[in-house]
Homo-oligomer: A and B are copies of this chain.
């Protein structure tokens, strides 16, 4: 990752950046704490002081990803329709840094065999779907989406779609066609029972 800062980054952030690079490149299991020390140029003592284990690193990365997802959905939308916003957000996801998308998939894979990571992801998904449900409730009030949808299931499905598209190695390319946005919009209209005009 390029360094856009003239001031040195806080130690914690530098470690997390290095850990992301190592995990994305080699997978969670192949990247040792020693490799991460090498990548951020720190002693094991410093690394372990901030993150006592690889699980602690994963947790911090998951929380960063959660925070990034929440910036989209934490606050009420202003001056933009929910569906338009969801379409734009999805296109943005496909254009995110490839290595970081790879890391999200790596963590999903880890979450399917490591109960500790599964629990971290469960919390992340609950937090994000919670924000989505609040946005859905607002959109129902304004009549933008159907009144009788199951908001919890719809939010969870939207999340699954997002991760499915994010982990499609050809998504960035496909999303450059107008048909991608149109197709995604049709799908979201169906998912949220958007009334036809």
Binding site for B on A (CB under 8 A): 24-30, 98, 101-102, 105-106, 108-113, 118, 121-122, 125, 149-150, 153-154, 156-157, 159-165, 167-171, 174, 177, 179-180, 182-184, 186-191, 193, 196
Contacts and interface: CB of A to CB of B under 8 A. Distances in A.
Contact of A108 (B28, B98, B105, B157): B105
Contacts of A182: 150
A160 B161 contact: yes
Given A122-B170, A186-B191, A187-B187, 16 more contacts: A27-B29, A29-B29, A106-B112, A108-B167, A109-B109, A121-B169, A149-B183, A156-B168, A156-B174, A157-B187, A159-B164, A159-B168, A160-B164, A160-B165, A160-B167, A161-B161
Contacts of A184: 157
Nearest to A162: B164
Nearest to A155: B183
A29 to B, nearest CB: 4
A190 B193 CA distance: 9
List of 3 A-B pairs having minimum Cβ-Cβ separation, nearest first: A190-B190, A164-B164, A102-B112
